Amino acid sequence: MYLAGTESGMVYKCSCSYYDSYIQEFTGHEPGMPVYKIRWSPFAPNIFLSCSADWTVKLWKDDNSGSTAASKHLISFSSSNDYVADIRWAPTHSTVFGSVTGDGKLDIWDVEREILNPIISHNSGRKRLSTVLFGEESPVVITGSSDGNIDVYRLSHLEGGMLTDIEQATNLEHAIQKNLD
């Protein structure tokens, strides 16, 4: 199974076993605006993020229904007036992810704390950010830009979590549910 983002703004769940059709359709990004990245949560195998040219990051839950009926996103995140080029889950905190935008913003989001605004936002100036990566062993986030530069930022209050993967997945599920209630 894999997810595919399209130039038309759709996300499709596909299988290598079915080469001529998709299994499930996810709608939520603006039609005609490409989906640039999709990332599964490292802690909850049915939760994923997508980012798009429509200036948003969407959080989804795959219900594994196998139905081709369209599924809607659960939460939408937006803090920029430019495309979101990349997203990445934090490897030690299930509710935290980062995003970078074409207008040079690095945003760190925490679904558990706040969904309307990022908990950290840094404008890198005129750089067009293209990628984001969290350090596996240290509390840093790394960004790459279209001009080939790499910047490393130390994150405070994001040192390694001491929770098990099951506890991390439960935290993510509870944080999402809290925001939907």
Q: What is the pLDDT of residues 131-163, one digit of tens each?
A: 999 998 888 999 999 889 999 999 887 655 678
Structure tokens at 46: 């049915």
User: Mean pLDDT across the stretch 4-20?
Assistant: 87
pLDDT confidence of residue 161? 65
pLDDT confidence band for 69 (50 / 70 / 90): low
Let me know the angle formed at the C-alpha of 77 by 74 and 78, rounded to the nearest 5 degrees.
150
pLDDT confidence band for 66 (50 / 70 / 90): low
**What is the pLDDT of the chain when averaged over all its residues?**
89
Task: Kindly report the CATH number assigned to the domain that includes residue 58.
Answer: 2.130.10.10
Strands laid side by side in the 140-145 sheet:
129-134, 140-145, 150-154
- Structural domain count, the chain: 1
Q: What is the pLDDT of residues 97-132, one digit of tens each?
A: 999 999 999 999 999 999 999 999 999 887 899 999
Identify the sign of the CA torsion 112, 117, 121, 124. positive
Range of the domain at 119: 2-180
Structure tokens at 129: 């950010």
pLDDT confidence of residue 91? 92
Total-model pTM: 0.90
The DSSP string of 26-93 is: EE-SPTTS-EEEEEE-SS-TTEEEEEETTS-EEEEE-------SEEE-SEEE---SS-EEEEEE-SS-
**Which value, in Å, is the radius of gyration of the alpha carbons in the chain?**
16
- Tell me which range, 67-76, 108-117, 162-171, is most confidently predicted by mean pLDDT: 108-117
Q: What is the pLDDT of residues 77-94, one digit of tens each?
A: 999 889 999 999 999 999
Q: Which residues pair with 40 in a beta bridge?
A: 48
| 72-98 per-residue burial string, b: 16 or more CB within 10 A, e: under 16 | ebbbebbbbeebbbbbbbbbbbbbbbb
Alpha carbon distances (Å) from 60 to 26, 91, 135, 143: 8, 18, 24, 24
